[in-house]
Amino acid sequence: GFSAAKVGVFGRRICDVIAERDGTEAAPGQDVKRGYAKSWITSTGSLDGGRYIKGWLNAEDAAIWDGTLGPLVKPAGPDDHRDAGERTAAALSSVLSGGHKATKVTVICDLETLTGGNAPARLTDGTPIPAAQARRIALAAGVSPLLLGRGHTPLYLGYRERFASAAQRQVLETQYPTCAVRECEIPGTLCEVDHVNGWALGNSPTDIDQLALTCGWHNRFKHTSPNQIGITKDPDGQYVYRLLPPPGARSRTRTGSGPPGPFGPPDTTANWAA
C-alpha cells in the first residue's frame, strides 16, 4: 500500500543497514551527489513511528550545531549514565520542542549602575560587565525592573497559572546560572521551570518563590524518583537540589559505617520533593 517513492526510501535504508552490518558504510558526509560544500539531512520514518536520520553539515552549520547543542549534550551530573548519542538526541528534542530559549542576552545590574554608579553588572553565568558597558547596552536594549522583597526574593504574580510567565523565567535565569541540582552544569537558560513542591499535588503554586530551574533530565528524574531529591534553600532564596541515594543506601550511610557514598552525606535539613 506504499507509494513507489516510499518504497524507494525503505530501500535506501535497507542498503544503509546492510552497509553498517558489513562495515562498508561511507565516511560521514561522503555523498557523491552532494559533496562536502552543502549541508544535507535525510529523514526516514520507520513503521513503528520512529525516525532514522542521516546527513552531513558543512563547517558553518556544524559550528551552529555545536554552539546550540553543545551545552545541552553535557552529562547532567554524575548519575546521568546516558551515552553521547542519547544526550545528543535529547538535546535536539529540547531545541525542537522550544525548550532552548538562549537567543537573548540578559545583563543584570542595579539601578545605581544605570544612573552612573561604578558597580559592575553581570551576565547570568556570573561574567562581570563594566558599568559603562552596561549603560551602553541599556541604550538599545529592553530594560525590565526587578522588584525584590525581603530576603532578595523576587515578587511576581503566578497564582492559578500552570506555566511560569516569561517575566518569571527571566527572573529565574538571573538566580540560576545552572541547573538547581548540585554539580549539574547545564546552563540555566537551557533549563525547564520546575515547581519545587510539585504542581500536580497542589503544593506548589506558580509563584516565583516556589519555582526553580532544572535541566530536562533532572526535572523528569525528580518526578519519577521524588525520594532521591533533597531540597534546601540558601540565604539568597535560591533552591539547591541534591541527589540522594536510594532508601536502603541512605539508611546505611546514616549509621556512620564507612565513608559517604557517591551521593554525599545525608542532608538532615532537606525537604522531600513532592
223 in any annotated domain: yes
Looking at residue 203, its pLDDT comes to 59
260 in any annotated domain: yes
Residues 153 and 136 in one domain: no
Residues 160 and 227 in one domain: yes
Alpha helices in the chain, H assignment, sequence order: 4-22, 59-73, 84-96, 111-114, 131-140, 166-175, 216-224, 247-254
Statement: residue 20 has pLDDT above 70: yes
Residues 254 and 158 in one domain: yes
Residues 171 and 263 in one domain: yes
DSSP β-bridge partners for residue 231: 241, 271
- φ/ψ region of 185 (left if φ > 0, alpha if ψ in -120 to 50, else beta) reads alpha
Last residue of a domain, one of 120, 143, 166: 143
Residues 267 and 158 in one domain: yes
Q: Are 178 and 75 in contact (CB under 8 A)?
A: no
Residues 9 and 40 in one domain: yes
H and E: helices and strands count for the chain: 8, 10
Residues 196-205: what's their mean pLDDT?
A: 67
pLDDT (tens digit per residue) in 32-81 = 556 667 888 888 777 777 788 888 888 778 888 888 888 888 888 888 88
157 in any annotated domain: yes
Residues 196 and 176 in one domain: yes
Residues 156 and 265 in one domain: yes
Residues 161 and 266 in one domain: yes
- The separation between the first and the last C-alpha atoms of the chain, rounded to the nearest angstrom, is 49
Q: Which 3 state secondary structure label does DSSP give 164?
A: coil
117 in any annotated domain: yes
Q: In degrees to the nearest 10, what's the CA dihedral of 232, 236, 238, 243?
A: -40
Task: Please classify residue 61 by burial: count the beta carbons closer than 10 Å to its beta carbon, then call 0-12 exposed, 13-18 middle and 19+ buried.
Answer: middle
64 in any annotated domain: no
Q: Among the listed ranges 55-64, 167-176, 195-204, 219-228, which one has the minimum average pLDDT value?
A: 195-204
What is the chain's mean pLDDT, rounded? 74
How many CB atoms neighbour CB 52 within 10 A?
Answer: 14
Residue numbers of the domain that contains 3: 1-56
Looking at residue 255, its pLDDT comes to 43
Q: Which amino acid is it at 262?
A: P
Residues 99-116: what's their mean pLDDT?
A: 73
Residues 217 and 236 in one domain: yes
81 in any annotated domain: no
CA distance 179 to 218: 8
Statement: residue 6 has pLDDT above 80: no
Residues 124-149: what's their mean pLDDT?
A: 73
Using pLDDT thresholds of 50, 70 and 90, give the confidence band for residue 147: low
**pTM of the predicted model, to two decimals?**
0.45
Residues 171 and 241 in one domain: yes
Looking at residue 133, its pLDDT comes to 83
Residues 239-247: what's their mean pLDDT?
A: 86
Output the CA–CA distances (angstroms, integers) from residue 2 to 10, 53, 117, in the order listed: 10, 20, 70
Q: How many domains does the chain have?
A: 3
Residues 126 and 171 in one domain: no
67 in any annotated domain: no
DSSP β-bridge partners for residue 213: 193
94 in any annotated domain: no
